[in-house]
Amino acid sequence: MNESVRSVLLVGVGGQGTIMASDILSAVMINAGFDVKKSEVHGMAQRGGSVSSHVRFGPKVYSPLAGKGDVSILVSFEKLETLRYLEYLKPDGKVIINNEEIYPPSVNLGEALYPGDAIDFIKNHFKDVKVVDATAMALRSGDKRMANTVILGVLSSCLDIEVDIWEDVLKESFPSKILEGNINAFSLGRGV
């Protein structure tokens, strides 16, 4: 793998704002002067399926997709989805997890169990794991839908990018009515 390029993989469930978060991250990295490529599969994401988005940045990026073992930071908006994408992480990769459970249909039907010890499992295999109660923190900023902005705040503290660049992009990304709440949510996340 090309060492000068870093990969962040954002994963979640359709409707959680995974793609929006990856758009914001990409814009930040462009403004910070990097070449950026980003890739996701749209398809039927809207219908509650599993969603993933690769963001790669560096002096020159060729592939918009990271390979297995190439991701420096796995950002997950849902616990079970984290497990699905762990094989993409570098052995010394970081994991940021929103402490939220969304049951897939088979669990709702009582045919499968939602993995109960996901966090322990991840911590057993990776050293740098941050679990964030993003939904609760978003509620404090006024709306639980801002959980993805809280998570972006957490992510920002793991990337060496000036906070002004993040805030400028947030300002361009949200309508003024919900901007303050999102800036707030972002700061809460950044402080974790």
Residue 79 lies near other proteins (rule: CB under 8 A) = no
Query: Which has the closest alpha carbon to 89: 105, 101, 73, 77?
Result: 73
Nearer to other proteins, 68 or 191 (CB): 68
Residue 175 and residue 166: Cα distance in Å, rounded?
16
Residue 160 lies near other proteins (rule: CB under 8 A) = no
- Taking CB under 8 A as the criterion, the residue among 6, 10, 81, 188 binding other proteins is 81
CA of 9: how far to CAs of 6, 77, 85, 96, 189, in Å?
A: 10, 11, 9, 10, 18
Tell me the window of 42-50, 158-166, 167-175, 182-190 that interacts with other proteins (CB under 8 A).
Answer: 42-50
57's tokens: 């940045």
Nearer to other proteins, 35 or 190 (CB): 35
Residue 62 lies near other proteins (rule: CB under 8 A) = yes
- CB atoms under 10 Å from CB of 189, counted, come to 26
Please report which residue ranges of 12-160 form alpha helices under DSSP H. Answer: 18-31, 79-84, 105-108, 118-125, 134-140, 147-156
Residue 14 lies near other proteins (rule: CB under 8 A) = yes
Residue 175 lies near other proteins (rule: CB under 8 A) = no
Tell me the window of 39-47, 129-137, 166-174, 180-188 that interacts with other proteins (CB under 8 A).
Answer: 39-47
Nearer to other proteins, 90 or 141 (CB): 90
- Taking CB under 8 A as the criterion, the residue among 66, 129, 131, 185 binding other proteins is 66
Query: Which has the closest alpha carbon to 28: 190, 173, 166?
Result: 166
152 by Cβ neighbours in 10 Å (0-12 / 13-18 / 19+) ranks as buried
Note the residues at the interface with other proteins (CB under 8 A).
Answer: 1-2, 5, 13-14, 26-27, 30, 35-50, 61-70, 80-81, 83-84, 86-87, 89-91, 103-115, 121, 125-126
